[in-house]
Amino acid sequence: MTYTDASLLTNSIMSSYVELVVGIFAIRQNGIGNLFCSIGELSVESSFKHQHFIIGLQDFISKITTDEYKMLHMQTAFRQLNRMFILSMWEILVGHNRYNDICNEEEIQFFRHIRNGCAHDNKLNFKQLEKTAKWRTVELKSSDIARSIFPDVLKDGDPILLLIDINNKYFTPINFYK
């Protein structure tokens, strides 16, 4: 059953996700990373006087751009970004007025188990599968218990595709990727 309702994914959510992905890549490029270092530091305002979040860019960039750690840190950054993205998108989905109509669908069950694993140390943590949990060609099985979400079940580019597929099947279709 397909529903047409306001999109689950909005332009704001997609733009923010893409900006974070671009940022992960950009700061690892020598010219761009060095440009950031020349800024000195970034300050993100807090509600509390004199307790802003300060990022010393030179130290940060120097740690993540060394050849030895560049790829490892990029993978870690993507996995953490994707875990947070999945967790927040799940909250948006369960708060949607269509959630009860689609909660037993196989893609939603797949998403639910992925979300739970992201919240529990990146590991699938179900006791047993009571409903089919499938997305595209990936179906979760009882033998998948304790498998890592990233990189075993999903690759770094999969979360956005999963959400686009769910959005386009159950909500107003969108096309953000080529």
70 vs 124, residue with greater confidence? 124
Q: Number of folded domains in the chain?
A: 1
At 105 the pLDDT is 98
22-34: per-residue pLDDT in tens? 988 888 777 787 7
* Alpha-carbon span 118 to 51, nearest angstrom: 30
pTM of the model: 0.86
Residue 72 lies inside a defined structural domain of this protein: no
In a domain, 146, yes or no: yes
The pLDDT tens digits of the residues spanning 94-138 come to: 999 999 999 999 999 999 999 999 999 999 998 889 999 999 999
| Domain-embedded: residue 52 | no
Is residue 137 one of the residues assigned to a domain? yes
Instruction: Tell whether 126 is covered by a domain.
Output: yes
Cβ-Cβ contacts under 8 Å for 152 (sequence gap 6 or more): none
Residue 4 in any domain: the answer is no
* pLDDT value for 177: 56
Q: How far is CA 20 from the centre of its chain?
A: 10
The answer to whether residue 177 is domain-embedded is yes
CB contact set of 63 (below 8 Å; sequence gap of 6+): 69, 73
What is the domain range of residue 98? 78-178
8 Å CB contact between 172 and 7: yes
pLDDT at residue 3 is higher than 60 = no
5, 33, 63, 110 from 153: Cα distances, Å: 30, 32, 29, 11
Q: Does residue 148 form part of some domain?
A: yes
Tell me the pLDDT of the chain averaged across its residues. Answer: 87
What confidence tens digit (pLDDT) does each residue in 139-164 have? 999 999 999 999 999 999 999 999 99
